[in-house]
Amino acid sequence: MTKSRVAAVDVGNDSIKAIFGELEYELNIPNIIARDTEDRPVIGIEELDDKNPLDGIHIKVHSPALKENNAIYRVGNLATKSNNATELDPGSSKSEEDQTLIMLFTTLALDAVKQESFPKTKNVIDASYTLGTGLPLREVKEGKDAGYRSKLVGSVHQVEFLVTPKYQGLKVNIKFNDVKVYPEGFAAYINLVMDNNLKIINKDLIDKRILIQDIGGLSTDIAVIKNRNVDDDKAQGFNLGVSESLETIREEIRTKHGVELDSRRDVVEIITRKNDRNHIMVKGSRTSVHDITDRILLDLAKKQYRLLRNVWQKNSQTEICYFVGGGAHVLKDYLKTLNNNLDGYNIEFFEDDKESIWMMANAYYKLITDFVRKTEKPKAAPVKS
């Protein structure tokens, strides 16, 4: 019997963050796909296997869970170079999109091809995973987590690598030993207060009344933590993320400066990098886009701040709000300035950018490894002769 491998996967709207096994492997792939043909042209095909597989993910995906089965895609970095690349749209439900499943299966397949523990017959790898993942609070409250889980368990999902460096011709059959789907706000709380063994590491927070505002690409979740649990009635999800604003910035840069950025991720890099922040190259000249980014992001930050104010008013005994997620990373400076000039709430950000962006994946890892520990039967003691 194939031993199941632990996987914690955060299918973020900007990128996929995944942690595998005993923390020995992690992946981060842009959440972008593009429909493609089976024989994509490659310049210097004899050098294909010298390239990084993550820069040339070209796959066919077969799964009964997909609306469009047996389709061929470019994924991640390779998809950004396509003129038909798709990113998740505002208003869409993560649990109901083919793109979410395609990214999930691709990420698992990229891990599986590196594992010697999975059985391999000719060019086919049979992989088994115990998966911890999550959905926005709004979708969990609507009961969509059960439908999402049922799409995954009980079926075989196959990823075939086509013109992909190092992995061309390999097929990965993915089965799920078990799948746990966690609400994202609760996961953030777990990550704040507990270590990888779910031992409490932040005693100051454990009994406080906390808000966790998780700003994603397409949505924002505000979890209300009271008595060490998420208050399901008061927790709220909103269809407000950073993706639409990033798309607007991208469009205005194209219109004003004639510069075509490949994806929203390029916009994120421009507005968050440490050197030359909010600058692009136009015909070889360093050019500021501060006027565009500041106006659009400040407007979004004001909307996010309004959400915070409304939820805090309904939970007046809240002691602190933590801003987490990739969107919080993008809006951090704007939100801090607004708060200093307006209400002066007790708010916190993670100054370590990676910690904020990887918070969900880390939380799913803690929760799924704890689940595995509790469900594994203790080995019987050897019989004495």
Q: Which domains does the chain have, with CATH numbers?
A: 5-182 (3.30.420.40)
Please give the single-letter amino acid code of residue 322: Y
How many Cα atoms occupy the beta-carbon half-sphere of 95 within 13 Å? 23
**DSSP of 290-309:** HHHHHHHHHHHHHHHHHHHH
How far apart, in whole angstroms, are the C-alpha atoms of residue 194 and residue 199? 5
- Measured in degrees and rounded to the nearest 5, phi and psi for residue 342 equal -115, -105
Angle, helices 290-314/264-272, rounded to nearest 10 degrees: 90
How far is the CA of 82 from the CAs of 35, 60, 373, in angstroms? 9, 17, 43
How far apart, in whole angstroms, are the C-alpha atoms of residue 134 and residue 113? 24
Per-residue pLDDT reduced to its tens digit, 36-89: 887 776 655 556 677 889 999 999 999 999 999 999 999 998 998 787 878 777
- Tell me what percent of the residues of the chain surpass a pLDDT of 70: 93
As a whole number, mean pLDDT of residues 284-294 equals 92
pLDDT of 229 strictly over 60: yes
Q: Are 280 and 257 in contact (CB under 8 A)?
A: yes
Tell me which of 217 and 307 has the higher pLDDT: 307
**DSSP of 306-334:** HHHHHHHHHTTT--EEEEESHHHHHHHHH
**DSSP of 100-118:** HHHHHHHHHHHHHTT-SSS
Query: Quick one: pLDDT at residue 90?
Result: 67
For residue 274, what are its two tokens? 């440490």
Place of tokens 């005993």: 22
Three-class SS of residue 251?
Answer: helix
Per-residue pLDDT reduced to its tens digit, 318-333: 999 989 888 888 899 9
Query: Quick one: pLDDT at residue 9?
Result: 96
How far apart, in whole angstroms, are the C-alpha atoms of residue 139 and residue 131? 18
Three-point CA angle 132, 76, 359, nearest 5°: 35
**DSSP of 361-383:** HHHHHHHHHHHHHHHSPPPPPPP
How far apart, in whole angstroms, are the C-alpha atoms of residue 316 and residue 309? 10
How far apart, in whole angstroms, are the C-alpha atoms of residue 182 and residue 167? 32
- pTM attached to this predicted model: 0.85
Q: Are 159 and 109 in contact (CB under 8 A)?
A: yes
pLDDT of 132 strictly over 70: yes
How far apart, in whole angstroms, are the C-alpha atoms of residue 57 and residue 74? 6
Q: Tell me the sheet residues that pair with 33.
A: 75, 86
State CA 363 to chain mean position distance.
Answer: 12
Three-class SS of residue 341?
Answer: helix
How many Cα atoms occupy the beta-carbon half-sphere of 251 within 13 Å? 7
pLDDT interval class at 129 (50, 70, 90) = very high
**DSSP of 116-142:** SSS-EETTEEEEEEEEEEEE-HHHHHT
As a whole number, mean pLDDT of residues 334-339 equals 95
Query: Quick one: pLDDT at residue 44?
Result: 54
